[in-house]
Structure 1
């Protein structure tokens, strides 16, 4: 099963270099690369797909800077959690280079061994774990020890397993699962005393506060009580076996084996009435459980021991009908496998929550064939295949979303190009890009005029008093009129007065000339500054126009991405079809195996029926 957590490791390495312990320096409170922070955020939101995608994008764009080997370790670890075993193995193998820090190599060996452990390569996992130094971060030592212990148990190396267990500074650190595995293994070996010791440690551990942890603890307790009961049966301690079986919760997931064992414990004492009770209760369970199949045959057998042959015959015939109905159900499901029942059953689970295991929709679970598939899928050997299909369905949905977004982006690019073209056309039409040159020409003309005025001391050119200008125009007009009159007439006095008034006006203009000249020069200076600002703005505008990204390359890139997504979608469809075919074959084999088991029990039931009828005929 692909259950996995990175939290312990993330806390171990912090956000910086992974070569110091928390006692040496505090955890960093910031990240050096934003993409690394985004990756951690996505991970802690349980969005492993997003976290891995962020790392892969960062890798394509030059990698994450400032965090040593941590990004690679996270990439490999998330890949391992997400089922990308080949990618995870490649990453961890690359991190084993001698140039890497010892802490990094230890972590890589640990996760490489864990990958091999999950793949069932016990020898390879053991070799990898042996490469881990004693300086590995303490947060990983417990899980490492548990996996080492489990490998020893799988290799039937019980002596070394017990030595490893007892070598721990605090035996309580092993936890309930390690105690349970060791107890069950020793029980199968016949070491009942040692087995009971470890199983008792499972049930004596105080319940934790966390509800989820409590749920796991209670399930392990049920399994430990059940295993302990069977060990007692092996030792002929039937009363103790009954006591252990009765501690198992009837509402728990492991009550079937406990009920079966409880019946056999009573049967071993020849207490047939009490043996019947748990077996009859168990007979109503799912026939995919071997204990239920066995109970259907155990009930009539117990009736026979009580001498109730009529009840025994009825129970055998009832079991026969149940077995025949189960065979019909198996055949019906097999026929429907070609009608998309398989994928539809998986699609009924929420593919958006792609991090969790397969869970049937409650409404659909009411359908018998789907409920049957759900029980099959819940088995460990189906989990990996089912989760792979769910991941592929999630990726298929993601690609469809991306393809839709690409269409939207393409439309946005077209609209952006149209808006840019329209703006440039309006600017060219209004001549905004040529305004600065025309204004500079006008400014040069004004400067030349002012220079001429100053040089020629043209007082009247800078005259700004409107009354004075009007009076000067009147005087000049009068002088022109006098000049046009008959020369014989005497206008000398009028001419003298007009020239006098004109002189006064010229005097006043001369008095204000310097101030007016300074004001005009100041205006030219301000105009120079405004022209400089205009030139700067036009340069910025021209630069923005020149350096603005071209739409065409983006459109070409969008086209390539669209083709790539289309190709990936085709490959995804092919892989989905391949995984579905493999799952169908696996399910078909499981159905065949189940059918064979049911047929065997059906044959036993019919033989028992025939035997009872034969005995009655002989009477």
Structure 2
């Protein structure tokens, strides 16, 4: 007969899988609410950040800081930069930023946030004691959201380093916000169970296991607490307390299979094998890739054997062997396909490849023959993080290819403008050759001299209009006529009056006409200066523009190999990441196959035991016959 399961193994696996859980953490480097934006480029980076486009936020912020465009947000922008590096997993860059902030900032709020993110960074890198040291430097100026998260991170550090008493002290003293209380109780309960203080841990886990739940996340946490508590009681050989706790787990939740298996073993420990068959038979109809379902294929004949239904037990063991063999063959095919390179592209076939989304996770799998195995990979956080990096690399590869194509477009634009300029330049130069700036300036000088003479001699006729000058010339011509002296007195008097009136009018308007003439002369000076500058600019452009075109072409040509180098680096990194993910997938699929192989060995051994028992009973019966 197969021995009962090792409840300690199940509990250890469960608790290690759970670790310390928490609600949705705040985004890395979340700016303080109510920030007044004084620099446009910082506001633009914040806009990209709040769009959750971390890639553009990071690149735009780097450019703005390099160009000195965020003078009023130096500390805030550096803190945001460090958080963006952290969200991208660029731990070394992030730590450099936070260390600079700590060395240069006197603002307590900035320093506290820098210590917080530095501690979080160290925790993510597995430096638990260094993380605790950073958390210990935090004062009282953390924003509310970060202050709420801090005790959970400290507890995680203690638990990751095996200091469960330290985790208990932190969580017991934590006056957690409502949204964190259930997680705190669960984590403290897990810590106490690990310390073999089951009764204390059970009280907390039971409280979480009975809580009202308003969301799927809370319902999952409630089920997880009941599952952990149930297996803790099984490990403590208290099946009577384990069963009702495990029965609180939802039948269609993510933890239902393990709960059904545990309920069956609680009945089996109490020697109620008929009752144990009910949850185990229910399990056998579920997805075989669930390890609890696999175990049910052995648990059912185990119970049947105890019920002396040896024939049915043999049939069930034989069915288990056939099922395991079929599934192992399918796993071999899935492993071959994973090694063949079809796994990762299939996972991204429906993705929008938006670069820089920190929150992205793989939430759905393609509809193909390997889908049932991929769900197990999706549940693995290490694979999720690795696949997120792979996805970012794919998106970055496309981004660089887009820039390579843009450079080709820019090079074509520069060449088109250079050709157009060279085509138009001769005609422009020919037209410019007809413009006599020197002659115009000479005419202007002559006009200025005439105006100066008119002002000096008060030559009112010099400023007369063309009509007035024509009339004046007629009067002068008439006076110069030899016959004018013998003309009638009335005619000469009339001539005198006309000339006098005209002189009076010209003299009366002389000052205004002189002012207008000087103003016109100044306008002419400006126009000539503008024309001269434009002419000089056009002439200079004939020399400078080809040089500018060459400069642009050289810059584009210099960027092209840089992008090519980056593309090569990304391609190499992408290939290594792909190999890593494929190895993880193959390892997971191989572990599933090994588990099935182990169960297969147990089934064969149990089957052999049944056959041996039947043979012994048959031999005993023959020996007892008369």
1:344 CA drift (Å): 0.9
Residues 510, 43 of structure 1: alpha-carbon distance in 2 compared, 3 angstrom cutoff:
same
Aligned to 1:330: 331
CA contact (8 A) 1:447 1:524 kept: no
By relative contact order (CA 8 Å, sep 6+), the higher-ranking structure is: 2
Between Structure 1 and Structure 2, how many residues are aligned? 585
Counterpart in the other structure of 1:512: 502
1:586 alignment partner in structure 2: 584
The residue number in structure 1 matching 2:253 is 252
Residue 542 of structure 1, CA deviation: 6.0
- d(CA) in 2 for partners of 1:543 and 1:147? 69
Task: Give the corresponding residue for 1:359.
Answer: 362
Of residues 236-245 and 424-433 in structure 1, the stretch that sits farther from structure 2 once superposed is: 424-433
The alpha carbon displacement at 1:392 in A equals 0.6
Does the 8 A contact of 1:346 with 1:360 survive in 2?
no
Cα 1:86–1:542 change in 2 (3 A) is farther
Which residue number in structure 2 is paired with residue 112 of structure 1?
A: 118
Report the more deviating stretch, 539-548 or 280-289.
539-548
- Compute the TM-score of the two structures, normalised by the length of structure 2: 0.81
Q: Confirm or deny that 1:176 pairs with 2:158.
A: no
Question: Structure 1 CA distance, aligned partners of 2:193 and 2:367?
Answer: 40
Q: Deviations over 1:193-229 (max 9, x none)?
A: 2112211332455545xxxxx2221111110111122
Which whole-Å CA distance do the structure 2 matches of 1:603 and 1:49 have between them?
51
TM-score normalized by the length of structure 1: 0.81
Report the equivalent of 1:399: 400
Residue 166 (str. 1) matches residue 172 (str. 2): yes
* C-alpha distance in structure 2 between counterparts of 1:514 and 1:419, whole Å: 62
Q: CA deviation at 1:379?
A: 0.9
Partners of 1:39 and 1:54 within 8 A in 2: yes
- For structure 1, the residue ranges without an aligned partner over 5 or more in a row are 15-26, 209-213, 484-491
1:279-428 correspondence runs (5 A) = 279-348=280-349, 349-352=351-354, 354-359=357-362, 365-417=366-418, 427-428=428-429
Provide the rounded CA distance (Å) in 2 between the counterparts of 1:570 and 1:562.
Answer: 12
CA contact (8 A) 2:28 2:86 kept: no
Q: 2: CA distance between counterparts of 1:472 and 1:173?
A: 106
The alignment status of 1:529 with 2:522, answered yes or no, reads yes
Residues 122 and 151, structure 1, Cα contact 8 Å, conserved in 2: yes
Range moving further from structure 2, 90-99 or 525-534: 90-99
Inter-CA distance 468–266: structure 2 relative to 1 (3 Å threshold):
same
Note if contact 1:313-1:609 (Cα within 8 Å) is conserved in structure 2: yes
Moved more, 299-308 or 282-291: 282-291
Counterpart for residue 194 of structure 1: 200
Distance 1:158 1:465 in 2: 110
Q: Confirm or deny: 8 A CA contact 1:97 1:105 kept in the other structure.
A: no
Q: Is 1:82 aligned with 2:66? A: no
Cα distance in 2, alignment partners of residues 553 and 109 from structure 1: 46
Q: Which runs of 5+ in 2 are unaligned?
A: 1-20, 619-626
Range that drifts further, 72-81 or 402-411: 402-411
- CA separation in 2, counterparts of 1:456 and 1:235? 125
- Cα distance in structure 2, aligned partners of 1:462 and 1:106: 84
* Alignment check: 8 A CA contact 2:231 2:262 kept: yes
Contact preservation (8 Å) 1:472, 1:502: no
Q: Residue 275 of structure 1 contacts residue 302 of structure 1 at CA under 8 Å; is this kept in 2? A: yes
